[in-house]
């Protein structure tokens, strides 16, 4: 028969060992996970359980098991966990390649053999301060990836807290000042571009397109049903990885958007469709030069080549921007130019987000610049209102 105690009960088994049991705060009867060689040891175990209940630190056997399993999971190395993390993420090819490069270059050498549970804030801070100071953007990307991986580990209860706590480390400062192009500079650049790609300059600026969005545009992406306007439907973008063309959705969730082309460019667009765009609804607006060896495999009889690759476009772009006196202007800066022009015409932040395909106001505001002379013009308008 069990011996009743002030707390719990003891029973001597046929093996002459002692078994201890008690009723926990959860109302369930719990038996010690092992038997005891003496009655004194069994009593001591019951006393420990009672003390834990009194202090409020008691955990049920299920909770204890869960904590132990979490600790065992946390013993997995950062290298193994990060590889598994990357493999099971739904990422675009370019992003996956970037993350893999950051892991190999920046994270695995320092954390690869370390258990997740052993990565502490001090270790992360020491690693951060040892990164090359002249690579601020790359360092911020590395820190952001480490923080993201560890956040997943927290969500999966592999670690208790995220050790990445360096304020501002994941937000690189912009080192390059972007000066948007003026209309005269755009005209000069377009004039020095090959005819088949001249519209790309105006379209990139007027619709604030990313270069991958512009070079994946097809005839079916244009709405010409209005008398004066043309609507450009951005639904895809093209990237190049390891020599392969990859077509997918735009960069952000809000990247799929409809952008209205200024009416004065409609005629230029129609001329381009007649002369340079590939035929058929799926014909590319901007294509590369037909290979000397023959036609490409796009299926269009009038094809002038496949997707327009950077290797074909950039030499002409470089010559055109040099001729226009803007050797600093990148192709992506046409997007900055379009954002500034829209803002100067009174576009709200929400309208800029829609036109640029951004999901947050902060991202749209990154493309805002004070155009040269714009502040003086605003001051003159204020004076006219105050004195009028």
**pLDDT at residue 247 tops 80:** yes
Active site residue 22: no
| Other Cβ atoms within 10 Å of 124 Cβ, number | 22
**pLDDT at residue 292 tops 70:** no
Q: Single out the catalytic residue among 89, 101, 332, 374.
A: 332
Active site residue 369: no
At 41, is the pLDDT very low, low, confident or very high (cuts 50, 70, 90)? very high
- pLDDT tens figures, 196-233: 999 999 999 999 899 999 999 999 999 999 888 899 99
Q: Single out the catalytic residue among 257, 326, 355, 358.
A: 358
Cα–Cα separations (whole angstroms), residue 43 to 5, 6, 9, 29, 108: 9, 10, 9, 16, 50
Cα–Cα separations (whole angstroms), residue 72 to 57, 67, 120, 249: 21, 9, 17, 40
Predicted TM-score (pTM) of the model is 0.62
Active site residue 226: no
Active site residue 272: no
User: Domain map of the chain by residue range?
Assistant: 3-58, 74-155, 183-290+300-375
- pLDDT tens figures, 152-200: 999 988 888 999 999 888 776 555 678 889 999 999 999 999 999 999 9
- pLDDT tens figures, 127-153: 999 999 888 889 999 999 999 999 999
Overall fold of domain 183-290+300-375 = hpI Integrase; Chain A (1.10.443)
Residues 6+ apart with CB under 8 A from 90: none
| Other Cβ atoms within 10 Å of 207 Cβ, number | 27
Q: Single out the catalytic residue among 22, 81, 143, 367.
A: 367
Residues 6+ apart with CB under 8 A from 98: 141
Q: Single out the catalytic residue among 210, 218, 272, 336.
A: 210
Q: Single out the catalytic residue among 257, 321, 335, 355.
A: 335
Active site residue 367: yes
Task: Give the CATH class of 74-155.
Answer: mainly alpha
């Amino acid at each position: 028969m069990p011996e009743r105690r002030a707390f719990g009960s003891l029973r001597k088994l046929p093996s002459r060992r002692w078994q201890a049991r008690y009723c926990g705060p959860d109302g369930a009867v719990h038996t010690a996970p092992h038997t005891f060689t003496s009655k004194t040891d069994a009593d001591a175990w019951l006393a420990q359980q009672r003390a834990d209940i009194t202090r409020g630190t008691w955990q049920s056997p299920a909770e204890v098991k869960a904590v132990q399993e979490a600790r065992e999971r946390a013993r997995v190395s950062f290298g193994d966990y990060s590889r598994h993390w990357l493999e099971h993420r739904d990422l675009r090819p370019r992003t996956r390649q970037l993350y893999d490069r950051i892991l190999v270059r920046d994270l695995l050498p320092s954390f690869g053999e370390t258990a997740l549970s052993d990565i502490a804030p001090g270790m992360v801070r020491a690693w951060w301060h040892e990164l090359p100071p002249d690579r601020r953007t790359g360092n911020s990307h590395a820190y952001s990836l480490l923080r993201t991986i560890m956040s997943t580990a927290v969500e999966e209860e592999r670690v208790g807290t995220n050790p990445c706590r360096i304020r501002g480390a994941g937000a690189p400062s912009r080192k390059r000042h972007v000066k948007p192009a003026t209309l005269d500079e755009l005209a000069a650049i377009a004039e020095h571009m090959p005819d088949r790609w001249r519209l790309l300059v105006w379209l990139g600026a007027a619709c604030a397109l990313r270069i991958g969005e512009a070079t994946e545009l097809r005839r079916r992406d244009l709405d010409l049903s209005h008398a004066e306007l043309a609507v450009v439907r951005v639904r895809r973008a093209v990237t190049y990885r390891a020599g392969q063309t990859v077509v997918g959705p735009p960069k952000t969730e809000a990247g799929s958007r409809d952008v209205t082309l200024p009416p004065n460019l409609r005629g230029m667009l129609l001329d381009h469709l007649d002369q340079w765009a590939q035929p058929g609804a799926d014909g590319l607006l901007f294509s590369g030069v037909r290979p000397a060896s023959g036609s490409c495999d796009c299926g269009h009889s009038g094809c002038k080549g496949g997707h327009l690759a950077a290797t074909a476009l950039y030499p002409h772009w470089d010559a055109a921007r040099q001729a226009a006196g803007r050797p600093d202007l990148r192709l992506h800066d046409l997007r900055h130019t379009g954002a500034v022009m829209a803002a100067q015409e009174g576009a709200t932040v929400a309208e800029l987000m829609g036109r640029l395909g951004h999901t947050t106001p902060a991202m749209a505001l990154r493309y805002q610049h004070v155009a040269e002379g714009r502040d003086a013009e605003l001051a003159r308008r204020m004076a006219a209102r105050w004195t009028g």
